[in-house]
Amino acid sequence: MTQPKKARPRKTFSAFGDIRRMPSDYEIVTHAQNWTLRKNRTGAFEQNPSSPANLWFLTYRDKSPLQVDDWDAFRDPDALTYKTYVTVQAEAEAKTGGVLEEYAGSDAALAPGQLALLTSLFTPSRYLLHGCQQIQAYLGYLAPTSYVTNTAGFATADYLRRVTLIAYRTRELQIAHPDSRAGTAERQIWENLDAWQPARRAVEKALVSYDWGEAFVALNLVLAPTFDDVLVRQFKEVSRENRDEESWLLLSFLQEDNNRRNRWSSALARFAVEQRPSNADVLRRWIDRWSPIADAAAAGLGELLETRPEHGRPASEVAAGAKAAREAFHEPIFEPEGMRAAR
């Protein structure tokens, strides 16, 4: 009687299961890198399963309403690794550095209305964006797969880059216009100016949305697309209309960071719906919860775009534009795959 032939043992890449291809460099350095998700675990951390840290991960990650059978099947559309991210951002920083060098000293010629817009909307926005950075970092820390941990980590770095650029520009404005209170009034504006309070409430509420899925929806699917439309697209358009080419150029370059975050966020949401159709209701419920909060924030910031510069735009138009941009971003998430392919 012949003995059954034994299967050849795998020599490498066994973490990927029974595959018949060579994993990509991106997959090799990203797959199963989160040790809190190791198999056969009794808790995220090597502590008592009922410890506060383990209960936190159990409650807000493992038992999140947003579930799929295998989160490790998700892939970042850009397949970013640390190496490729650093290369891309080095080139991006060269561009922004070139703009800063080219326009050095030009702030003295800013129109009074544009200076008022910069010091009431642009320079205080570092508080808002730092809050977004913290939420993005939390999302990466609690994510159910290292494929999301990495993308959220890069998005966190993008926010840091943006906050750093705003701080640099704040100092330039402070030097050129010492009476403008640039560099000294931002916290007071952030905490007390009526136009900023809906946005401040939005980000502070998102900071205490502990479920990883809701944090993802609140920031990446609702608040960030709304804020980006106001603080990047519409702000740079108004700036150009008010002869501030430097702001227009800098924000045009920063938009690519936002586009990259939007690509993987949309892909992750579509992945969740395709893997488990009931996730569509979960996502819609959270989107419906956060959209009015985002709309109120856009309307508040729109008041500054309307009243500060010489050539502004109505606050109602600002809010409507931000809402339309966000809803257009959501459309592909809930489209059937065949409809998306036909577009």
For 304, counting Cβ atoms within 10 Å of its Cβ (0-12 exposed, 13-18 middle, 19+ buried), the class is buried
Q: Look at residue 142 and tell me whether its pLDDT is greater than 80.
A: yes
Q: Maximum CA pair distance of the chain?
A: 96
**N-terminal to C-terminal alpha carbon distance within the chain:** 59
What does the pLDDT average to over 127-141?
98
Q: Look at residue 1 and tell me whether its pLDDT is greater than 80.
A: no
DSSP state of 42: S
Backbone angles phi, psi at 59, to 5 degrees: -75, -50
**Helix, strand, coil share of the chain (percent; to 5):** 75, 0, 25
- Report the C-alpha gap between 252 and 256 in whole angstroms: 8
- Among 269, 246, 65, 258, which Cα is nearest to 161's? 258
Q: What is the pLDDT of residue 328?
A: 97
Q: What is the pLDDT of residue 40?
A: 84
What does the pLDDT average to over 191-212?
98
Q: What is the pLDDT of residue 342?
A: 52
Q: What is the pLDDT of residue 322?
A: 98
**Predicted confidence (pLDDT) per residue in 93-123, tens digit:** 999 999 999 999 999 999 999 999 999 999 9
Q: Look at residue 254 and tell me whether its pLDDT is greater than 90.
A: yes
- Report the C-alpha gap between 326 and 178 in whole angstroms: 37
For 310, counting Cβ atoms within 10 Å of its Cβ (0-12 exposed, 13-18 middle, 19+ buried), the class is middle
Mean pLDDT check: name the lowest of 16-20, 37-41, 54-58, 117-121: 16-20
Provide the pLDDT confidence category of residue 150 given band limits of 50, 70 and 90. very high
- Report the C-alpha gap between 68 and 217 in whole angstroms: 16
Provide the pLDDT confidence category of residue 343 given band limits of 50, 70 and 90. low
Q: Look at residue 60 and tell me whether its pLDDT is greater than 70.
A: yes
Q: What is the pLDDT of residue 39?
A: 83
Measured from the Cβ of residue 59, the count of other Cβ atoms closer than 10 Å reads: 12
**Predicted confidence (pLDDT) per residue in 216-233, tens digit:** 999 999 999 999 999 999
Residue 283 and residue 272 in contact, taking contact as beta carbons nearer than 8 Å: yes
Provide the pLDDT confidence category of residue 14 given band limits of 50, 70 and 90. low
What does the pLDDT average to over 57-63?
97
Q: Look at residue 261 and tell me whether its pLDDT is greater than 80.
A: yes
Residues 6+ apart with CB under 8 A from 24: 79
Q: What is the pLDDT of residue 104?
A: 95
Provide the pLDDT confidence category of residue 18 given band limits of 50, 70 and 90. low
Q: What tokens appear for 299 in the block?
A: 């309307």
Q: What is the pLDDT of residue 42?
A: 87
**Predicted confidence (pLDDT) per residue in 284-336, tens digit:** 999 999 999 999 999 999 999 999 999 999 999 999 999 999 999 999 999 86
**Predicted confidence (pLDDT) per residue in 168-182, tens digit:** 999 999 999 999 999
Q: Alpha helices of 31-185 — where are they, by DSSP H? A: 52-57, 82-102, 112-117, 125-142, 146-176
How many DSSP H helices and E strands does the chain contain?
Answer: 15, 0
Q: Look at residue 17 and tell me whether its pLDDT is greater than 80.
A: no
Query: For a pLDDT cut of 70, what percent of the chain falls above it?
Result: 92
